[in-house]
Amino acid sequence: MTSAQVDTEKTSGGTSGQTSEEGYERGLGSRQVQMIAIGGAIGVGLFLGAGANIAKAGPSLIVMYALAGAIVFFIMRALGELLLYRPVSGSFAEYSREFLGPFFGYFTGWTYWLMWVVTGMAELTAAAIYVHYWFPGIPQWVTALVFLVILFGVNLISVKVFGELEFWFSMVKVTALIGMIVIGLGVLTFGFSAAGDTAAVSNLWAFDGFFPKGVGSSLMTLQGVMFAYLAVELVGVTAGESEDPEKTLPKAINTLPWRIALFYVGALTVILCVVKWTEFAPGVSPFVAAFAKIGIPAGAAIVNFVVLTAALSSCNSGMYSTGRMLRNLADSGEAPAAFKKLSATKTPAFGITISVLFMGIGVVLNYIVPDKAFGYVTSVATAAGIWTWLMILISHVLYRRAVVAGRLPASSFPAPGGAVCSWIAIAFLLFVTCLIAYDPDSRVCLYVMAGWAAALAAGWTILKNRTPAAPTGRDPELEKVG
């Protein structure tokens, strides 16, 4: 990028239709960024995965979501400080590259790409399961393929179309969850519906206590709980296409605690008060099961539609982020140059296309092992997500050291507690990794990640041998915004 280009593009960031320094259209308005942030905190991990976790931990799952939510907030405030220091698309890889070195930027970028590809597979699987509720005769793989093609088309059109679709997906989820909470509170307070006679706050401890399977079993659900929070960091990927990142990003991040408290802790608490935890089972959305128990006409079908939109929303976000991450890697010389190209609508169409082809593996899994597809892909996605979060936290710790030493300017959005909260979050994520290694059902994802690491190391060696001077990444000074 020439200095003239930099000067031209530095004047372009504030209104819709203009371009960021990376060539993207700044087409995501404040309401869209806010809803993308909210939608990232409400996904299939809550709507579908919570069923299996309730069966393992009972009501104590509420505490696990609250604990993990606090850690996720630490991660997001660390990311927020970095984003306001230097807001760029593909931020996680860029910060790893700047503070830990080119290899870590390369590894983080490709691993985040893997996380979203695998998450896309999980969401397609979940969407197919939800459609099976209405149309049991349609094979899961057929439904997964149809949704994959539709969302692919949406992401190729423009970032505005992506943002608008994501806005309405998130609006459906938020409205529905609030409605579920209100109805649940009504059942508890006034005792109406088929569940009214048994609904009570005492359901939280009346059946073998609050920790019915023991504290150990509750802790083992943390890996699944962390999967539910994957995608909250998507706000960082939108930085290069936000109209006013200085204002929209802090606002989106600061609303995270009440979103977690309301949509996760609050919703689960109400559901588990209305229906005793022993009636939930793996593979069934606890929200669908609860509304079937309440007996509201068409209630379960409506909730099933809502959880379907949640799955499609997350898959839509996955396609968005993978294309941007591949372009970031190509810009840094860590992926084929073809990924640099933007389409006429300023979308990384080639990167999105390649990512969608890999997401198609999820369609194959739904054909081969429809009963196990969701579990396989969520464990791999969680491991990849943990790596990404660790890189955010470590980059934040190193950034704070540089600020204290006077080597870098302070961010306008400092994380409370400085680097202390980042260290706490790092320790927590390492603990969750140990839990994954201990669990024979999820341990396989660590083998997958080991193979992935070996493949990336080999790719890095080849890359360095071909171009010894690369990759070095871009000059951070050329990417400061505002």
Q: Are 33 and 356 in contact (CB under 8 A)?
A: no
DSSP secondary structure letters along 129-194: HHHHHH-TTS-HHHHHHHHHHHHHHHHHH-HHHHHHHHHHHHHHHHHHHHHHHHHHHHHHHH--ST
- CA 6 – CA 104 distance, rounded (Å): 26
pLDDT at 480: 40
Enumerate domains of the chain plus CATH numbers: 28-479 (1.20.1740.10)
d(CA 218, CA 222) in angstroms, rounded, equals 7
Supply the pLDDT for residue 477.
40
* CA–CA dist 106, 209 (Å, integer): 47
Per-residue pLDDT, 1: 36
Q: Hey, is 18 helix, strand or coil?
A: coil
**Residue 11: per-residue pLDDT:** 36
Question: % helix / strand / coil in the chain, to the nearest 5?
Answer: 75, 0, 25
Q: What DSSP element (H or E) covers 431?
A: helix 420-438
Residue type, 300: A
Prediction pTM value: 0.82
pLDDT value for 243: 64
What pLDDT was estimated at residue 346?
75
Residue 465 is predicted with a pLDDT of 82
What is the residue-level pLDDT of the chain in tens, covering all 482 positions? 333 333 333 333 344 445 544 555 555 656 666 666 666 567 667 776 788 889 889 999 999 999 999 999 999 999 989 988 987 765 678 899 999 999 998 999 899 888 888 888 878 878 888 888 888 888 888 888 899 998 888 778 766 777 777 788 888 888 888 888 898 898 888 877 777 778 889 999 988 899 999 999 999 999 888 888 887 777 666 655 566 777 777 877 887 788 888 888 998 999 999 888 998 887 777 887 888 788 776 777 887 888 788 888 878 777 878 888 888 888 888 888 888 888 777 778 898 999 999 888 877 776 776 666 666 777 788 889 899 999 999 999 999 999 999 999 999 899 998 899 999 999 999 999 999 898 887 788 899 899 999 999 999 998 888 766 555 544 444 334 33
